[in-house]
């Protein structure tokens, strides 16, 4: 069953309404009006199309009956009861004729005000109970003054606005003796809002009605006066422009007759044509370019300002405003392209892929912190950035900010300065021709060496997504949107990043490459590119893996591929020379002839010592050049228990040596060392390659081993390498660079490595051949290392004697007789052994 239709709401009039008392209940059909308000003594013509209203009109026509016309700002419907205003007008239908689509065009005449009390029915049309209202009081002198004021304002309105007929004033003057009728006529004839007209209908009291009428008439007069003023200003402006154009044409003709050069006009016309043919220009750019073009046409080509203005227009009209490439790439394709063009850890590619997925979902906008790649030279920072650009289908821009120490280099200089131009980023965008390239900003570590915070903040405005949506270049003076640019920064190490940039960077550390990885990258990417650059074919030059290994170990010492690439270039240049001389058709580079191309080896690789030695341990170091094998040496000598360190050591490493010494001293009994030896002997710890500064805690456990070996006079195994940080209580802590360190041990021929237990998961990223040939021992405490690395390790006789003495003391307290015999036997046995 359908729901009952909701009754319309009666909008009550403001203030008291003078209702005539009556014993009878007057019922009238109600016609809601939406396009006008009917007043007593006026007529209104309407087109009726709704079925219920058509039924009402036919009902009134048949019996010559009256109806109530009431304004409705929310028309009653099936779903909504709507609303009608309380004060309406008794009306009669004076004329009716057929309209389009079955509608009726009717003319209603208003008779007198009534107040709707309640709605009785909605079907077939609205029927309501109404009350008649009392007649307004007689005319007073104050009311006559207001009548005069209404006629005076109406005279001004009809005079200023040609939209009003002159007859309006005549109609008002004819009703001057009837203030009520005059107010209703004025309300009907003037163009007030319908809500304002309803308020005039609600005002039964003449004083209140005239106050509202004068207010609305004055507002109408002000509107007309303002429109008239605007019209006159526009007319004056048009006339001035026509006069200006006429004078310009005369001047142009005079100059043409004199044979003067008209290059200014030609340049201005060219710029206007560019503005017209550039649909992507923002409104700010169009406005500024139009102003500058008009100025250019007025300047002489010989003036300095002409050149400055022309250069400015060239810049703002050749920038790629609104030129974006579509973000229609598929993430699976992006992942494939990254894997094809960048060789490195999979977690780095995954992190980049996550960022690009967010960019795609945001439609190309960048809201995340700026990507910062950290790695030694040659570790693939630029290659990764190029791979990102290729995967996104974007232009790639490479910018170096090294040496920049002036804000003008970043944000441009005001165009009033001599030689002014935009900043470096804007200049690069014009060359690229697009607003959303991938921009690699390199050499952040050499940026702003004077450490001027304003220069740092200027670059931060460029790359930070919080501020770069409306980046303001001082030369342009117009905001430019950098938010769709994929900025990527690169730096050698975290410590060299300026302080202001760190919170706004998302750091990705690119580790150095081990020997095996370098060989794979060289065969897949490096050698084919270098052969092409030197005009050589792949079939003409053959370089074996053994040669590549020799170049890596004997001619370079680096974490990346920069020096390795330079050595391959040397080979390519010599082959290119030989090819130009046409000496032969192919060249094979092998271990026998490599020195012909590269000369004598530059570096001598570290090898394991031939036999175990006291005070010499193989430690593993992680440097800027990658992993390295470091033999730490120690010896003891008569002294006062001092520790001497050499080898250009940093504070952290010195503290680590002190902690290792204290731990070994605390374990003297276990190691079989007389505790007095630590006061009678000095210990000298030396790290080789003294010219190279060294620091860090990862050699702590190796130093422990060296000190224990020296003091216990036990040799250390020569087939094991060690790394790890040691605490004062002997715990071995996690260290970094495991992949590089193990690769260095493998390269030196050491196939057994002792690592902290916490670094066990890091070994899973190693190449399979290293994993297959290397044995790993995971340690949690330094004393475990003593048992593994110190040969002939066993408690000394001094330690045994002390242990027996302690046992005897304990036995005396608990079982004196039994223990005394046992203790005596042990003591005799101990004496015999000694």
**Residues designated catalytic:** 698, 741
Q: Give the closest residue to 356 by CA, choosing from 348, 364, 347.
A: 364
Q: How far apart are CA 187 and CA 198, in angstroms?
A: 9
CA–CA distances in Å: residue 170 to residues 164, 173, 183, 217, 218: 12, 5, 14, 17, 19
Q: Is 582 exposed, middle or buried (0-12, 13-18, 19+ CB in 10 A)?
A: exposed
- The 438-442 sheet, strands edge to edge: 396-400, 438-442, 486-491, 370-374, 505-509
Q: How far apart are CA 210 and CA 690, in angstroms?
A: 105
Q: What is the DSSP letter of 554?
A: I
45's CB contacts (< 8 A; 6+ apart) are 95, 105, 106, 107, 108
Q: How far apart are CA 214 and CA 290, in angstroms?
A: 47
Coil, helix or strand at residue 388: helix
Strands 505-509 and 370-374: what pairing? parallel
The reply to whether omega before 50 is within 30° of 0 (cis) is no
Q: How far is CA 375 from the centre of its chain?
A: 23
- Structure token digits, residue 221: 């007069």
Q: Give the closest residue to 507 by CA, choosing from 484, 526, 491.
A: 491
785's CB contacts (< 8 A; 6+ apart) are 701, 704, 705, 722, 732, 754, 779
Q: Give the closest residue to 744 by CA, choosing from 585, 606, 617, 591.
A: 606
Alpha helix locations (H) across 84-193? 141-160, 167-174, 179-189
CB 412 within 8 A of CB 420: yes
Long-range contacts of 73-79 (CB under 8 A, 24+ apart): 73/11, 73/34, 73/194, 73/195, 75/32, 75/34, 76/8, 76/32, 76/122, 76/126, 78/5
Half-sphere exposure of 36 (CA within 13 A, CB side): 20
* Residue showing tokens 């004997």: 554
Q: Could you count the other beta carbons within 10 Å of the beta carbon of residue 262? A: 14
CA–CA distances in Å: residue 602 to residues 32, 215, 631, 684: 102, 99, 20, 30
């Amino acid at each position: 069953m359908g729901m009952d239709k909701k009754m319309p709401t009666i909008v009550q009039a403001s203030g008291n309404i003078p209702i005539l008392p009556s014993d009878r209940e007057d019922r009238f059909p109600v016609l809601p009006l939406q396009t006008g308000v009917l007043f007593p003594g006026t007529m209104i013509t309407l087109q009726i199309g709704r079925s219920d209203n058509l039924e009402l009109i036919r009902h009134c026509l048949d019996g010559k009956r009256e109806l109530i016309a009431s304004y409705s700002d929310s028309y009653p419907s099936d779903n909504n009861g709507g609303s009608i205003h309380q004060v309406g007008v008794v009306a009669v239908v004076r004329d009716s004729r057929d309209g389009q689509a079955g509608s009726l065009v009717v003319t209603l005449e208003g008779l007198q005000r009534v107040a709707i009390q309640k709605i009785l029915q909605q079907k077939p049309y609205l029927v309501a109970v109404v009350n008649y209202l009392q007649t307004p009081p007689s005319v007073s002198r104050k009311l006559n003054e207001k009548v005069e004021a209404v006629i005076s304002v109406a005279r001004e309105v009809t005079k200023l606005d040609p939209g009003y007929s002159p007859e309006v004033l005549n109609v008002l003057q004819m009703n001057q003796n009837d203030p009520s009728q005059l107010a209703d006529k004025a309300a009907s004839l003037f163009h007030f809002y319908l809500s304002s007209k309803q308020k005039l209908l609600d005002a039964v009291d003449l004083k209140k009605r005239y106050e509202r009428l004068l207010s609305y008439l004055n507002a109408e007069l002000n509107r007309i006066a303002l429109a008239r003023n605007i019209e006159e200003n526009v007319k004056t402006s048009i006339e001035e422009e026509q006069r200006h154009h006429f004078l310009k044409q005369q001047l142009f003709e005079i100059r043409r007759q004199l044979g003067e050069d008209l290059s200014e006009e030609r340049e201005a016309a060219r710029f206007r044509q560019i503005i017209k043919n550039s649909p992507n220009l923002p409104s700010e750019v169009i406005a500024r370019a139009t102003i500058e073009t008009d100025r250019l046409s007025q300047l002489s080509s010989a003036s300095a300002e002409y050149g400055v203005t022309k250069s400015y227009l060239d810049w703002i009209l050749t920038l790629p405003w609104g030129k974006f490439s579509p973000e229609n790439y598929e993430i699976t394709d992006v992942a494939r392209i990254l894997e094809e063009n960048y060789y490195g850890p999979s977690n780095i590619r995954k992190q980049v892929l996550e960022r690009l997925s967010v960019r795609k979902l945001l439609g190309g906008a960048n809201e995340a912190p700026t990507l910062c790649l950290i790695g030694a030279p040659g570790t693939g920072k630029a290659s990764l950035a190029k791979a990102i650009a290729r995967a996104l289908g974007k232009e790639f821009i490479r910018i170096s900010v090294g040496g920049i120490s002036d804000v003008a280099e970043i944000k441009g200089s005001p165009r009033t300065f001599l030689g002014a131009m935009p900043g470096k980023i804007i200049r690069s965008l014009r060359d690229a021709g697009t607003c959303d390239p991938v921009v690699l900003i390199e050499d952040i570590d050499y940026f702003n060496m004077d450490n001027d915070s304003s220069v740092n903040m200027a670059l931060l405005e460029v790359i930070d997504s919080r501020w770069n949506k409306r980046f303001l270049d001082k030369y342009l003076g117009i905001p430019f949107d950098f938010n769709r640019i994929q900025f990527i920064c690169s730096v050698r190490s975290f410590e060299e990043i300026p302080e202001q940039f760190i919170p706004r960077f998302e750091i990705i550390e690119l580790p150095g490459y081990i020997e095996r990885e370098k060989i794979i990258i060289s065969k897949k990417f490096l050698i084919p590119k270098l052969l092409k650059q030197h005009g050589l074919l792949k079939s003409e030059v053959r370089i074996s893996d053994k040669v590549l290994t020799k170049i890596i170990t004997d001619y370079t010492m680096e974490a990346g591929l920069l020096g390795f690439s330079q050595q391959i270039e040397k080979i390519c240049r010599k082959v290119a020379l030989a090819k130009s001389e046409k000496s032969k058709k192919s060249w094979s580079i092998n271990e026998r002839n490599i020195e012909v191309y590269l000369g004598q080896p530059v570096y001598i690789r570290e090898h394991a010592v031939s036999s175990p030695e006291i005070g010499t341990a193989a430690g593993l170091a992680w440097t800027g050049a990658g992993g390295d094998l470091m033999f730490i040496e120690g010896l003891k000598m008569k002294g006062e228990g001092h520790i001497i360190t050499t080898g250009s050591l940093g504070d952290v490493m010195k503290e680590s040596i002190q902690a290792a010494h204290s731990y070994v001293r605390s374990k003297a009994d276990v190691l079989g060392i007389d505790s007095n030896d630590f006061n009678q002997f000095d210990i000298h710890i030396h790290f080789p390659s003294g010219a190279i500064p060294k620091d860090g805690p990862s050699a702590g456990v190796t130093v422990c081993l060296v000190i224990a070996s020296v003091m216990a006079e036990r040799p250390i195994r020569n087939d094991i390498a060690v790394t790890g940080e040691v605490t004062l209580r002997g715990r071995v802590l996690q260290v970094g660079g495991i992949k590089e360190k193990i690769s260095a041990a493998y390269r030196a021929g050491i196939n057994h490595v002792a690592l902290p237990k916490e670094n066990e998961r890091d070994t899973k990223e190693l190449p399979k051949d290293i994993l297959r040939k290397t044995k790993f021992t995971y340690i949690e405490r330094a004393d475990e290392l003593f048992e593994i690395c110190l040969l002939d390790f066993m408690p000394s006789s001094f330690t045994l004697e002390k242990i027996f003495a302690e046992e005897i003391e304990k036995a005396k307290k608990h079982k004196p007789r039994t223990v005394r015999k046992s203790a005596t036997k042990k003591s005799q046995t101990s004496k015999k052994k000694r």
